[in-house]
Structure 1
Amino acid sequence: MSTGELSDAEFLAAVEEATYPGDKFGHRGHLRVGWLCLRAHGFEAGLERMRALLRDYATALGAAEKFHETITRAWAERMQAAVDETPELGSFEVFLAAHPELLDSRMLSRHYRNETLSSPLAKASWVPPDLEPLPSR
């Protein structure tokens, strides 16, 4: 199963119910959750929804320790800037085609030193970038 085999509603429901296979939920799955949440709720509420979905999904799969606050918010910031740039794009696949840079899971290394993202503080709470600022939203 890939994230593209399900409708947006089915995908979100599968993540929310933790029935989406954990071994298939990679970077693209995280992006899709973010895109859906940000488009539906705007930045602040979308970020809260994204956090809850990802934290609960990881917990349900027995991997609660994988949730990382700074990484989640930094990706939400990057994605919101892209959504703001192209709000008319109505499908996730079209959105990714317009913003292929988001598919680079190492993108945050432009904004953060590895030591910063690896820190317990960054995992538990928001830490602003220490290299290059995130795009304005």
Structure 2
Amino acid sequence: MPGDTATDALDDAAFLSAVETATWPGERFRHREHLRLAWLCLRAHGVEAGHARVPDLIQRYAAALGASGKYHETRTRAWVLLVGAGLAAAPAGETFGDFLGRCPELLEGSLLARHYREETLDSPRARAEWVPPDVAPLP
């Protein structure tokens, strides 16, 4: 699968460090980078700790860039659950590119529409706190 050269230019440790120190450019922290961050955290810390680490990192990153208002709790946690489901079947040594090749549906920004109504995700409550799916359960 073709990679995103901006994201793939850094190895996993350097990418994670760039997000942790808010040196990764905000305009280049898009959907794929969110997925990579979740993939790295879940692999390194396991499901429970990884689920806590991703929102914390994204919130701190957004705050450092002056974009705290962009954080969305439900979207973040739902994507982490979807990445976690993909990781459950991951072979040893799988790279992020391999992971996306095996789980290409994760690149579809509309994937959450299979689990949530648009008005639910657009609600202030879903932005501020976890809201469970209202269309179909997450894996």
**TM bin (shorter chain):** over 0.9
Structure 1 segments (4+ residues) deviating >3 Å? none
Instruction: State TM-score, norm by structure 1.
Output: 0.95
Superposition map of 1:59-78 within 5 A: 59-78=63-82
Question: CA separation in 2, counterparts of 1:58 and 1:107?
Answer: 23
Q: Does 1:29 align with 2:33?
A: yes
In the alignment, structure 2 segments of 5+ residues that lack a partner are: none
Q: Does 1:19 align with 2:23?
A: yes
1:65 CA displacement: 0.6
Question: CA separation in 2, counterparts of 1:70 and 1:44?
Answer: 16
Q: Does 1:52 align with 2:52?
A: no
Q: Does 1:88 align with 2:100?
A: no
In the alignment, structure 1 segments of 5+ residues that lack a partner are: none
Q: Does 1:131 align with 2:135?
A: yes
Deviation track 1:115-136 (CA, whole Å, cap 9, x = no partner) reads 101111111111000001111x
Question: CA separation in 2, counterparts of 1:89 and 1:122?
Answer: 35
Cα contact 1:89–1:95 (8 A) shared by 2: no
Q: Does 1:43 align with 2:64?
A: no
**Aligned CA-pair RMSD:** 1.1
- The amino acid across from 1:102 in the alignment is L
Determine what percentage of the aligned residue pairs are the same residue: 56
1:90 CA displacement: 2.2
- The amino acid across from 1:55 in the alignment is Q
Q: 1:98 aligns to what? A: 102
Instruction: State TM-score, norm by structure 2.
Output: 0.93
Q: 2:8 aligns to what? A: 4
